Amino acid sequence: MTQLRATAVAHPNIALAKYWGKRPDGHNLPAVPSLSVTLAGMATTTTVSFEEGLGADHLSLNDKPVAPGRIGTILGEVRRLSGIALYARVESRNDFPTASGLASSASAFAALALAASHAAGLGLSTAALSSLARRTSVSSARSVLGGFVELRVGSPAEEFTLAAEVVAPPEHMDLRVIVGVTAEGPKEVGSSDGMRHTVATSPYFEAWTALAPGLFAEIRAAVLAGDLAALGPAAEQSALAMHASAIAARPGLIYWSGGTLEALAAVRRMREGGLAAWATIDAGPHVKVLTTSADAAEVTRRLAKAPGVLRTIHTAPGEGARIVEAP
């Protein structure tokens, strides 16, 4: 029998225009449009093999067995589409902190969707892969693709088809993203729970959904123009407004640590000193600084000196998910 096995690599992405909150009327449809950049410099590598003799799906993360959690949605759909009735062994490795706001679920589900569908012999289109990943985790739809990527809000009729699309290839714009890592452990409140809580209790959620489409349009135009000076302030506002909606929930949802605030202050000082530097923050305490290749070394040096920043990671726009040789 042919081996039903494949290995895929995917990168995390950082949203320049944030997604936060789901539509009430569909399966994992975002409430706001988002635009991200896929980041080479961090990667998830996932091997999927459908095997005889397994009584359930098995998942290991960085060589440790963990509960399969949300992988069942993707594996179940791949089984349905391919007619394969076997359970799968899934081995996933991240070369960056897991579940701490470094978008590990995005690269994980993108790599899983590709590896599982390839192992099962399904030749899914990029759009079908992105939609498959989105049904499990919205941001992972964007990591299927490389470069600058958008995800529209779609309509309830697109519940099973809504997919991310490329806005521009990785080399389109001179952008570097320097990650200031401020914690190594997992975050306390995952994004799905955090946004549910925000939607349910924050008086600022409506203000966020009113603001987000305009910021998205501004960010999209700045990306297409390759204009970081226009992109930076809009991306920083998107992140801060998203966090403001979460902070105003009841009880308030604060993903930030002291290190996050120190890094934000350092980014402001960098700008005052003439560097290209704007901050963005996902559902975790890390600060990611948008800059140019020319300023990246100095931004990294200053970010690393901010109190509470444990280390930095240098990233640049990268490719989408792809099949690689099994490790």
Q: Applying CB under 6 A, which residues contact ligand DP6? A: 15, 18-20, 28, 34, 103, 105, 137-139, 191-192, 282-283
DSSP letter at 184 equals: -
Residue type, 306: A
With respect to ligand DP6, which residue has the nearer C-beta, 15 or 48?
Answer: 15
DSSP letter at 323 equals: E
With respect to ligand DP6, which residue has the nearer C-beta, 34 or 100?
Answer: 34
With respect to ligand DP6, which residue has the nearer C-beta, 87 or 208?
Answer: 208
Q: Work out how close the CB of 137 gets to ligand DP6 at its nearest, in angstroms, rounded to a whole number.
A: 3
163, 29 Cβ separation under 8 angstroms:
no
Q: Work out how close the CB of 286 gets to ligand DP6 at its nearest, in angstroms, rounded to a whole number.
A: 11
Q: How many CB atoms lie under 10 A from the CB of residue 76?
A: 11
Q: Work out how close the CB of 112 gets to ligand DP6 at its nearest, in angstroms, rounded to a whole number.
A: 13
DSSP string, 126-154: HHHHHHHHHTT-HHHHHHTS-SEEEE---
Q: Work out how close the CB of 215 gets to ligand DP6 at its nearest, in angstroms, rounded to a whole number.
A: 12
With respect to ligand DP6, which residue has the nearer C-beta, 87 or 255?
Answer: 255
32-50: burial string, b at 16+ Cβ within 10 Å, e else: bbbbbbbbbbbbbbbbbbb
With respect to ligand DP6, which residue has the nearer C-beta, 150 or 295?
Answer: 150
Residue bearing tokens 């452990």: 185
CA distance 234 to 278: 9
Q: Work out how close the CB of 192 gets to ligand DP6 at its nearest, in angstroms, rounded to a whole number.
A: 3
Residue bearing tokens 């225009």: 17
Beta bridge partners of 48: 6, 90
13, 148 Cβ separation under 8 angstroms:
no
Q: Work out how close the CB of 281 gets to ligand DP6 at its nearest, in angstroms, rounded to a whole number.
A: 8
Residue type, 222: A
With respect to ligand DP6, which residue has the nearer C-beta, 220 or 302?
Answer: 220
